Structure 1
């Protein structure tokens, strides 16, 4: 049987998950600026002190929600290599998945339109740790896929992936440009033409 300490740890995780779930609902519904800790606590069915104790201030909650959404996306990316035979297709699918998921994410959509001053620091000046984590995770995914396929080592893979991640970052923050990359087929073609050579050639 699980020990009391294990039960307590599971309860802590459950409470934090409820708080982050509640925060995400509130942020997507009315935005961060109009969401209070009391709103989050009410949605999560806990008291406001619990929110402060488990997560912190509203800005801390925003960071925690953003970090969890990044982790969820990275978990999805880990499944991509098993669905594609060619490493080139893994690169394309990874690129397209990241861009489309973030563009369609309710929180990102709302905040980019209504509260860019609050979201942009999370993704730029204050987002170094998340960006680094994303780069390292992508390197790991692609290198593992390379090894599984018995392919030779890719020289400078870290730098190549970081360049590609910076392109992704730019496309999410500024989707409008001279290229029409608003559709998945267009993103797929762009990735095959421009991102694959950066990573693999």
Structure 2
């Protein structure tokens, strides 16, 4: 399901000024796109003045980077809960793969920007996205190393390299969703992951 658009009540519950600003920016970006969003719009939505937005976050491009970074961090936090729902490493790897692809496919902001404003998002996911990519590889490696220990399975010495390969596949599928392979449903994604991604990571 697509992420729900935050309401003014949701914004009021955010603990920090930075959080309120990022929530407000997310609302505006999803509502009208980045190009039509102004710092004044974000400030009004966050109930702060525009100087505060510039001081705490920066320009509109800085807002896009900060919002994207926070969405990546939220996803990685959700991935940490996956191992507790499964009793095999194969299922954990497959579910992580399906969750990441599905989350980005259904995220209103990512969908809007890839469709209407790719020139703003693509650099953050490619030439300027090294920190996001590295963060994803490191977090996924930590999750799966911990899962191996919890399941009393032997460590995979090169698991970091294996996960980076898998992350590059995921990255490609997000940036170029058109495929000759059936990857439309979660069932199809799970089947693909078990056939091709799980062996890369665990065999």
Distance 1:93 1:132 in 2: 20
Aligned to 2:9: none
Please list, as runs of the form range in 1=range in 2, the aligned pairs for 1:103-118 lying within 5 A after superposition: 103-118=105-120
Equivalent position to 1:188, from 180, 187, 190? 190
Alignment of 1:19-168 (within 5 A): 19-168=21-170
**Shift in Å, 1:13:** 5.7
Among 178, 181, 196, the residue aligned to 1:179: 181
Q: What is the CA RMSD across the aligned residues, in angstroms?
A: 1.0
Ranges of 4+ aligned residues in structure 1 off by more than 4 Å: none
Contact 1:175 1:182 in 2 (8 A): no
Structure 1 contact 26–40 (Cα < 8 Å) conserved: yes
Local SS of the residue matching 1:85: coil
Measured in 2, the distance between the counterparts of 1:134 and 1:156 equals 16
Residues paired across the two proteins, number = 190
Which protein has the larger Cα radius of gyration, Structure 1 or Structure 2? 1
For the residues of structure 2 that align with 1:183 and 1:149, how far apart are their CA atoms? 29
Aligned partners of 2:63 and 2:120: how far apart in 1?
A: 13
Cα deviations by residue, 1:10-57 (Å, 9 ceiling, x for unpaired): xx9611110000000000011111111011001111100000000011
Identify unmatched segments of 5+ residues in structure 2: 1-13
- Paired residues of 1:96 and 1:187 also in contact (CA < 8 A): yes
- TM, length-normalised to structure 1: 0.93
Rounded Cα–Cα distance in structure 1 between residues aligned with 2:142 and 2:40: 40
1:155 Cα deviation from its structure 2 partner: 2.9
- Compute the displacement of 1:164 (Å): 0.3
Point out where structure 1 has 5 or more consecutive residues left out of the alignment.
1-11
